[in-house]
């Protein structure tokens, strides 16, 4: 997680101190060039990874030492630095998935993950790797969302040309736009909102906060709305609802989000506390006799990184609790 603009003085009691976020993580799509996020994987690096996977005999590595990458490891460390102190995203292109086959997709993703951090389950799930696809058919609602992790790694398995591209937005830029246009709404998002936790119950968390002097943006409106379905949860105020609606509007505003035309075999890496991904939610199931839709298919891995900072108290409650001594967000 990168520090974009740390607070230098404490806020007025009962009221958050709003300051604009700066630095490379506060980007707009128009500011970026492909070199800001693309990391080509050379033939030697790809061969090194393929050799490590072959030596494992199809078994997924548990630690980096089981999949040694003497040269390619430096590329992955560069990618991790981009997530931590740079733009917050990177795309690895040129991995040998076409030669290895889809059966090796999960070991490949876990081998990369072992050099980036420690895998954790999502939303209380035991499995580290989840198979995810965009819903198709029926009415869809698009929303930007942050998983509870330090790093999200997505290996693209299928990306039909007619399927929408991946869309990413910088949380710091959305924060700054809201600060310009509606400071009271931004203040509302610095205050705790009830979120439903995967393990049950409700935890009060802000959308925007700081941790160890670093800006944190974690948006999960699905968890906020799920909490409202629990009878004992305090109802959101009209001002809180308006702030959330404005946040959704700003995320989708033209020019802010980056459009990424991903290909099968690409690995997208991003820091979800800095960069939010657009997800599709099905508002209604497709008709029973409707033909199967065309979807993007990917494997997703959530990771805790070595540079994970201590996050605001309670934020980890949206995921499964880490072992004693660990920091960072898990699950989600």
Q: How many CB atoms lie within 10 A of CB 325?
A: 5
Give this prediction's pTM: 0.85
What's the helix, strand, coil split of the chain in %, to 5? 30, 20, 50
Residues 6+ apart with CB under 8 A from 119: 110, 113, 128, 129, 301, 302, 303
Of 302, 298, 299, the C-alpha closest to 320 is 302
Residue-level pLDDT at 219: 93
Q: Which two tokens stand for residue 112?
A: 């990369």
Q: Which two tokens stand for residue 21?
A: 């976020």
Residue-level pLDDT at 65: 93
Q: Which residue has the tokens 């080509």?
A: 40
Each of the 332 residues of the chain gets a pLDDT tens digit; together they read 444 444 433 444 567 789 999 999 999 999 999 999 999 999 999 999 999 999 999 888 888 999 999 999 999 999 999 998 999 999 999 999 989 899 999 999 999 999 999 887 655 455 689 998 875 555 567 789 998 889 999 999 988 777 778 999 999 999 999 999 999 999 999 999 999 988 788 999 999 998 778 899 999 999 999 999 999 999 999 999 999 999 999 999 999 999 999 999 999 999 999 999 998 765 555 455 544 555 778 999 999 887 766 555 445 555 543 332 333 322 32
Of 32, 120, 187, the C-alpha closest to 332 is 120
Q: Which two tokens stand for residue 124?
A: 């209380």
Of 181, 148, 130, the C-alpha closest to 1 is 148
Residue-level pLDDT at 331: 30
User: How far does Cα 152 stand from its chain's mean position?
Assistant: 5
Would you mind telling me the total number of residues written for the chain in this entry? 332
Q: What is the DSSP letter of 142?
A: E
40 neighbors 93 (Cβ within 8 angstroms):
yes
- What single string gives the DSSP state of each residue in 154-218? EEEEE--TTSPPEEEEEHHHHHHHHHHH-HHHHHHHHS-EEEE-TTSSEEEE-SEEEETTEEEE-
Of 86, 260, 244, 79, the C-alpha closest to 168 is 260
For 226, counting Cβ atoms within 10 Å of its Cβ (0-12 exposed, 13-18 middle, 19+ buried), the class is middle
Q: Which two tokens stand for residue 17?
A: 């101190």
Residue-level pLDDT at 122: 56
Q: Which residue has the tokens 């935890």?
A: 203
Q: Could you give the count of Cα atoms lying within 13 Å of 13 in the half-sphere of its Cβ?
A: 0
Residue-level pLDDT at 263: 92
E strand segments, 254-293: 258-260, 267-270, 275-282
Evaluate whether the domain defined by 35-318 bears CATH number 3.40.190.10: no
Give the model confidence (pLDDT) of 258-303 as tens digits.
999 999 999 999 999 999 999 876 555 545 554 455 577 899 999 9
Residues 6+ apart with CB under 8 A from 192: 204, 205, 206
280 neighbors 135 (Cβ within 8 angstroms):
yes
**Cα separation, 63 vs 68, whole angstroms:** 9
User: How far does Cα 118 stand from its chain's mean position?
Assistant: 15
**Cα separation, 311 vs 313, whole angstroms:** 6
């Amino acid at each position: 997680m990168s520090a974009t603009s740390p607070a230098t003085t404490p806020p007025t009691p009962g009221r958050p101190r709003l300051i604009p976020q700066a630095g490379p993580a506060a980007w707009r799509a128009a500011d970026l060039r492909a070199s800001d996020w693309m990391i080509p994987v050379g033939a030697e690096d790809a061969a090194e990874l393929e050799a490590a996977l072959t030596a494992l005999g199809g078994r997924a590595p548990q630690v980096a030492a089981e999949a040694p990458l003497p040269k390619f490891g430096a590329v992955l460390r560069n990618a991790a630095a981009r997530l931590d102190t740079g733009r917050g995203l990177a795309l690895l292109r040129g991995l040998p998935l076409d030669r290895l086959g889809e059966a090796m997709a999960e070991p490949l993703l876990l081998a990369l993950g072992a050099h980036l951090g420690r895998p954790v389950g999502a939303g209380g799930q035991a499995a580290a790797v989840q198979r995810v696809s965009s819903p198709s058919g029926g009415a869809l609602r698009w929303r930007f969302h942050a998983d509870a992790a330090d790093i999200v790694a997505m290996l693209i398995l299928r990306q039909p040309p007619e399927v929408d591209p991946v869309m990413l937005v910088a949380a710091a830029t959305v924060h700054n736009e809201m600060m310009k246009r509606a400071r009271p709404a931004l203040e509302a998002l610095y205050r705790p909102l009830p979120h439903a936790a995967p393990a049950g119950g409700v935890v009060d968390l802000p959308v925007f906060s700081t941790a160890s002097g670093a800006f944190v943006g974690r948006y999960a409106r699905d968890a906020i709305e799920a909490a409202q379905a629990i009878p004992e949860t305090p109802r959101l105020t009209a001002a809180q609802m308006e702030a959330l609606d404005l946040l959704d509007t700003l995320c989708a505003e033209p020019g802010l989000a980056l459009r990424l035309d991903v290909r099968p075999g690409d690995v997208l890496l991003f820091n979800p506390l800095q960069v939010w991904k657009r997800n599709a939610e099905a508002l209604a199931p497709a008709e029973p006799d409707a033909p199967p839709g065309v979807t993007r298919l990917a494997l997703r891995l959530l990771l805790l990184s070595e540079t994970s900072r201590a996050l605001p108290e309670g934020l980890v409650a949206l995921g499964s609790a880490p072992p004693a001594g660990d920091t960072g967000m898990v699950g989600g």
